[in-house]
Structure 1
C-alpha cells in the first residue's frame, strides 16, 4: 500500500499516469511545472555554478564533486541538471528524482507558506523583502524555503544515501520518482509475473530503471506490502478475513 504522503504528492503534482514504458517524465513536467531540464557532460557542482554564473545567477556551492543530478529552484521555478554521459535509464531516473525534489522540497512548502500567510509572503519567498520576526520564526518551524535552493543527488555506487533529514529528503524524492516512472500497482504485477529471483531484472527491463534503483524499488515494494499486512493483522486480529 502506498504511503499517504505519496498518494497526496502524486495527485497534487498533476502529472498524468504513464501510457507506455519506459516513461520519460520530462515532457509532462514541462507542460505542468515551471521547470527546465539542463543536460551537461561530466556534471559537477562546479559546472553547475559556472553555468548559472554565465547566465547572471550567482550561487555559492560549498563543495566540489561529480554528480548524477542537481536541482536549483527559486520563485516557484526550477532547473534540473543531469549528466549527459550517463546512460538513458540513469538520465531518466535522475530527472525524475530531481523533479521530485523540486515538487516536494520547493513547490509544496511554498504552497503551504502562501496558504498559511497569504499572498503577502510571496515577496519574502522571492527575496524581494526581508521577513518579519514572526514570519522568520514560522518559516523555520514550517520548513518554508526562502531564496535559491540546491539539491544534489549524493549517492554511492549502490545508490545509498546518508542518514537524518538529508536521507529522508532523498528517499522521498526517490520514492516519488519511482511512482511516476513505474506506478507501484503495475510494478507489483511485473514482480509477480515470474520467478522471485528475477523480480529486480524484470522491473528494470519493463520500466527502464537503472539496475540499482530496480533493486531498491523491489525492496521498497516488499516492505510496503509487509507493512500493509502487518497493519491489518494488528488492528483486526489474526483471524480477520
Structure 2
C-alpha cells in the first residue's frame, strides 16, 4: 500500500486489521466510527427519505429517479448512514458496505477532521450547518471541499447504468480501492494472488476474500499492475509462454 492518500484514509478510519476472511466489516466499523448500517428492501432515494421521515429527520435529499442501487451513503454533522440492499447476495453486501463506508471516510470524515485540526472545535458549528463561516474562515483554503451540509452519495449513472462523469469515476475508484484494502489488504492479497496462474487469480480472490466476481477481477488487475506485471502480454495471448 504505497498510495499516500490510501494510507491516510486507513489511518483516519482506524479500523483494526481483519481477524478472518471473508471479513465482516460491520462490527469493526461500529466500534470506531460514527456510522449506522441500514438494510432496505430496495435502496432508492424515496426509500432513504422515508427512513429519515420515520425518525423525524429531514436531511435535504435531492429528487432522483426510482433507480434501485446496491447502496447509498448519507452523512451530516459527522455521522454517516450507510444503506444497503437487504436481499443482495452476501458478497455484494460485503463490498457495498465497505464501499459506502469508504465514501463516508474519504468524502465526509476526512475533510471534517482536516478543518477541525486547522481551526479547532470552533469550526464544528460551521461544519454542522449551525452558523455561517466568518470572513477569515472563508478566506482560508482549509475549508476547501469540507462538507458543511447534508452529504449524499448516490452513484451518478447514465441510462445504461455506467458511471457518467470523470469526477464521479475517480471518486468511485478511490472508494473501491479503500474498500479493497479493508476487505483484502494488499499485503495479504498479493501472496494469495501469486498462488495461481493469471486466468485463475480473480477466482482465488473471490473465494478467499468473499468479493463479488466483477470486483475480484478488478482487484486482480490492480494487484498485477502494482506487482509490475503487464496488463497485456502478447506472448501470453499468443500462447508462447504461460501466464504469471
State the TM bucket, normalised to the shorter chain.
0.7 to 0.9
Residue in 2 that maps onto 1:128:
130
Residue in 2 that maps onto 1:239:
none
- What is the CA distance between 1:153 and its match in structure 2? 4.0
Where do 5+ consecutive residues of structure 1 fail to align?
Answer: 228-241
Secondary structure of 2:116's counterpart equals helix
The runs of 4+ residues in structure 1 deviating greater than 6 Å are: none
- What is the CA distance between 1:141 and its match in structure 2? 6.0
Deviates more, 1:141-150 or 1:18-27: 141-150
Residue in 2 that maps onto 1:233:
none
Residue in 2 that maps onto 1:83:
85
Residue in 2 that maps onto 1:200:
202
Residue in 2 that maps onto 1:25:
25
Residue in 1 that maps onto 2:53:
53
Aligned length: 226
Structure that is richer in helix per residue: 1
Please list, as runs of the form range in 1=range in 2, the aligned pairs for 1:1-241 lying within 5 A after superposition: 1-58=1-58, 59-64=60-65, 65-138=67-140, 142-154=144-156, 161-226=163-228
In structure 2, the CA distance between the partners of 1:105 and 1:179, relative to structure 1 (3 Å rule), is same
Contact 1:49 1:61 in 2 (8 A): no
Across the aligned residues of Structure 1 and Structure 2, the Cα RMSD in angstroms comes to: 2.1
- What is the CA distance between 1:195 and its match in structure 2? 1.8
In structure 2, the CA distance between the partners of 1:33 and 1:135, relative to structure 1 (3 Å rule), is same
Secondary structure of 1:79's counterpart equals strand
Q: How many angstroms apart in 2 are the aligned matches of 1:52 and 1:133? A: 34
Q: How many angstroms apart in 2 are the aligned matches of 1:159 and 1:22? A: 28
Contact 1:45 1:67 in 2 (8 A): no
TM-score by length of 1: 0.87
- What is the CA distance between 1:174 and its match in structure 2? 0.6
More contact order relative to length (CA 8 Å, sep ≥ 6)? 1
Where do 5+ consecutive residues of structure 2 fail to align?
Answer: 230-244
- What is the CA distance between 1:35 and its match in structure 2? 0.5
- What is the CA distance between 1:172 and its match in structure 2? 0.9
Q: How many angstroms apart in 2 are the aligned matches of 1:206 and 1:55? A: 39
